[in-house]
Amino acid sequence: MTRLERKRQHTRDRIAQTAFELFETHGYDAVTMDQIAIAADVARGTLYNHFAVKEAVLAYQMHAQLKSDLAPLMEEVMRCTGFNGRMLTLLEASAGWWDQNRRYLAPYIRYRFESVGQVQPAGEPTSDLALVYEMLLERGQLDGEIRRDLSPPQLAHYLHFLYLSALMRWLADADLSLAEQFADVLMFFNEGARAGSTRRKSRDQ
């Protein structure tokens, strides 16, 4: 990373941290981009140069927190036995994290879906669990637990959309347990991903 890139990232980190403190104090909906610029002591144009919309500031800070939390969590995950045990530990921790940050879930998911296909800026933290899923799925394939006719990236893609569907269902119904929703997702996924499962042939085959 060049000196200019480090300076840019430092500015983005400071803006995002300041914005998140405002969100926590005043509520996400009540905070404006102008308030963020004033509190972070940056020009309005500088703020928009780094973050086009308020949701982008929120996503950046949440990704930074998730990235920080993930390293120690993965040590715990990898001490578990088998793909299912590792995934349950990962998803239980994720459910706990979202329980604490539920108020930000709606704008976060909206922003993520609106950003599909966009190129992520270099050095930007990411919360995308797909790479973690890939690693765990590849390990599961090596251990003979997970089917090998589908690639880890493809399986991770399916699993991640099931994860997002559980989040959205939980967001719509406050009485649901997210941990239970994630457990159901994993059980459903395992039915199709376990070793011995076969790909259904298309009508043209």
> Distance (Å, rounded) from C-alpha 64 to C-alpha 125?
5
The tens digit of pLDDT for each residue in 69-82 reads: 888 999 999 999 99
Q: Is the dihedral of CA 49, 55, 60, 61 positive or negative?
A: positive
Provide DSSP, 10-65.
Answer: HHHHHHHHHHHHHHHHH-TTT--HHHHHHHHT--HHHHHHH-SSHHHHHHHHHHHH
> Distance (Å, rounded) from C-alpha 29 to C-alpha 81?
43
Judge whether residue 18 has pLDDT over 90: yes
182: number of Cβ within 10 Å: 23
- Domains and their CATH numbers in the chain: 1-51 (1.10.10.60), 68-193 (1.10.357)
- The residues pairing with 194 across neighbouring beta strands, listed in sequence order, are 146
Q: What's the token pair of residue 4?
A: 């200019």
pLDDT at 200: 57
Better pLDDT: 194 or 33: 33
User: Are 36 and 19 contacting, i.e. CB atoms less than 8 angstroms apart?
Assistant: yes
pLDDT band at 195 (very low <50, low <70, confident <90, very high): confident
The tens digit of pLDDT for each residue in 83-97 reads: 999 999 999 999 999
Judge whether residue 185 has pLDDT over 90: yes
- What pTM did the predictor assign? 0.84
Judge whether residue 201 has pLDDT over 70: no
Residues 127, 132, 133, 135, Cα dihedral to 10°: 160
> Distance (Å, rounded) from C-alpha 127 to C-alpha 73?
13
For the chain, how long is the longest CA-to-CA vector?
63
Across 53-69, b (16+ Cβ under 10 Å) vs e yields ebbbbbbbbbbbbbeee
Judge whether residue 123 has pLDDT over 70: no
pLDDT at 79: 95
pLDDT band at 205 (very low <50, low <70, confident <90, very high): very low
